[in-house]
Each structure stands twice: as C-alpha cells, then as structure tokens.
Amino acid sequence: MSILVRPAMQITQFLHTAILVSNLEQAEHFYHTVLGLTKVERSLKYAGAWYQIGECQLHLIVAPDYVPNKLQNPEKWGRNPHVALAIADLDAAKEQLLAHKCPMQMSASGRAALFIQDPDGNIIELGQRSPGGSLRELR
C-alpha cells in the first residue's frame, strides 16, 4: 500500500534567473538594444540590471573578474548551460541579430530556435513558439 505524502514545500512560479556579466554597459547594450528587453527599476546597491520578460525577470549581476565557463560543447551551443527565451518571429530575430553582427547557431534539433552569446559568452536560446505553445518545428 502506498501512502501519498503532500510535500510541505510547494513551488508556484519561476521568478527570475541571474547571470554574471563583467561589463554592465556592454551587457545592457546587448540585452536592451540588441534583444529589446525592457529594463525595470531595482533598489539594490550592487552593480547590475534587471529586465522584465513576461512574468519573469532576468537579473544581470556585475562580477568584474567574471570568466565564463568554457563551453563543454562548442559545436552545439544548445548543449551547454543557457537561458531560453520565446520569440514571436524567428526570421525577424535573425535579421535583427545579423544587423548587430551577433554570431549565432541554429538549433541542430530542427526546432525553430537559435543560440547566441552575450558579450560575456553566456548562451541565450531564442525559440519561436507555435500557436499551441510548443516550440515550432522548422520545415
């Protein structure tokens, strides 16, 4: 006989993810100007910036001596630690990234997604969702 035990802790929402950056000015240019994210106010004293993405936030925390981890799989950026963001139009995103001379890698899985790196080498996945909410397959 199995007994169902209700966990005492109940996680209800994803709030934010934080990534380290070495140069706030370069990072803000990338996240605001290149990606178009909306910066929000923060009251903390240490250097950084927060961006609102839907109901979640992306927190940039300045670590001047930050050295990103070496990519474990440099041939396939998506098989390394990364942050994934949904986009409305993959083709429009590619055009914008190319205009800013951002190196990118298309998803090897066939999904409508691509991978880019911020100025510190943090990997960002941009994936286009289908009307049903799942990541769209490229055809």
Q: Are residues 80 and 61 in the same domain?
A: no
Q: What pLDDT is stored for residue 79 in this prediction?
A: 94
Is 138 found in the same domain as 84? yes
**Over the stretch 10-32, which tens digit does the pLDDT of each residue have?**
889 999 999 999 999 999 999 99
Look at residue 96 and tell me if it is in a domain. Answer: yes
On whether both 138 and 85 belong to a single domain, the answer is yes
CA distance 22 to 55: 26
CATH code of the domain covering residue 44: 3.10.180.10
DSSP per residue over 28-72, as a string? HIIIIIIT-PEEE----SSSEEEEEETTEEEEEEE-TT--PPPPS
77 in a domain, yes or no?
yes
pTM of the complete model beyond 0.75: yes
Range of the domain at 97: 72-139
Give per-residue pLDDT as tens, 92-113.
999 999 999 999 999 998 899 9
